[in-house]
Structures are given as C-alpha cells and as structure tokens.
Amino acid sequence: TEGDSILRGTLFDRLKASVFLTSGNGLVEFQGGQTTVMKTEDTVGWPAGRDVETYQRYLYILSTDGKIYKYERLSNRYGPSVQYNVNGDLSNAIDMSIDQSVYILKEGGAVVKLFRGEVQPFVIHGAPDGVMKGVTHMVKPLGGHLYFLDPTKKRVVVVADNSPSGDVSYVRQYVLEGEQVGTLQDLYVDPDEAHLYVLDEQRLHVIDIKK
C-alpha cells in the first residue's frame, strides 16, 4: 500500500504467488504481474510482524508480540487467525522457517522448534562452540537442511534436523572471503539445494553447494 515498505516475503507455492508483509501491517500478493492487497476475516486486521511464511494452504505470521498467527488461504482472502504456538518462549524472535515443523530463530542464536504448536527438542550436536551466537537469518528448503546467516563472521552455518528421530547435527559452514564481500543481509537456498545465495549491500553471491 502507499507509503508502506516491504518487510519480508515468501512464495506461496500452491498459488505460485509471492506474499509480502509490509511495514503498515498489511499483506500483499504478487501474482501474474499484478499486486493485490489481501484482506483477512480478522476484524482487527493483520498483526505487526517480523516474518511471514507459507506452508501448504496456510500463511504464518511471526508477530512482534511473541506469537505465531496462522491463516487459511481462501478463494480471494484469508480466514481469521488462529494462534499456532501453544507453548514456548518466542520473545526476541527474529526469523522463522517452516517444513512440517516451525523453526523460530531468536536473538543470540537460540532456535525454538514447534510441531503442531508444541515445543520439540532442538539441540545441535557436534557444533563448534558459539557457532550460532551471531546468526540473524535462516532458511530451510522443504526436506532439506537448515541454513543460518552469520553476518559478523561472513558465513553460513548448515545444520541437519533428521526428523522424526529428532537428531539435530552440525553439518558444515560456508565462509565468504574477499574484499568485495560486504555486510551480509539475507540468504536463500534453491529447492534442490544446489545453490546458496547470499546478499550483501551491493552484490548477490552465489555458492555451489551439495547437500
């Protein structure tokens, strides 16, 4: 909407539409070259959010009040919200990713894993000391690893969550080197985990990876 800026975006695979959360507490879909301001049946409208993700026909918003709100995508709007998280401390949450389970990244590198709203064990085995301390963003391709961005160390930390066993293990890290590497802003991994994309203020860095 006019005067708003884009906070975060995601792809609604079922609709092949990009979904964006705006600074004015709005939601915008971009599909077929057209932008549509989307409504929800919630009378209070959309909450202020830190991140937005989609999974199947549902939209999830990580709100600034430490909750996750879940919305069903209807024909031309979204249904009323349902609070997804049953328990778990989501204060200081900064990012979210979904692949059956919902993963919440908190300031300082702690990760809260939720399944059907309930907290699940998430302890990374075999990781170097303090490897998660500086991470600020994360992504998880469906069925793939978790990738965490650490701007301070100019690296991406890779973790495997071998659900349903619950065994979470450190895999590797990718370090970006060279004078051309600026302050890292965000990251993306393509669905088949062939390429890792890392964005700084001026450049997009592409890394060939293998799962």
Q: Report the range of poorest mean pLDDT among 25-29, 57-61, 91-95.
A: 25-29
Distance of alpha carbon 133 from alpha carbon 143, whole angstroms: 25
Alpha carbon distance 160, 142 (integer Å): 12
**pLDDT by residue (tens digit) across 30-43?**
988 889 999 999 99
pLDDT digits (tens, 9 = 90+) for 120-133: 999 999 999 999 99
Residue 144's nearest CA partner among 197, 191, 198, 195 is 191
Paired with 55 in beta bridges are: 58
Helix, strand, or coil (residue 187): strand
- Tokens (6 digits) for 42: 């919630």
pLDDT at 82 over 90: yes
Q: How does 67-92 read in b/e, with b if 16+ C-beta sit within 10 Å?
A: bbbbbbbeeeebeebeebbeebebee
- Residue 24: pLDDT band with limits 50, 70, 90: confident
Q: Is the pLDDT of residue 165 over 70?
A: no
Dist CA 64 CA 47 (whole Å): 8
Q: Is 150 exposed, middle or buried (0-12, 13-18, 19+ CB in 10 A)?
A: buried
Q: Confidence band (pLDDT; 50, 70, 90) for 1?
A: low
**Which pTM value belongs to this model?**
0.91
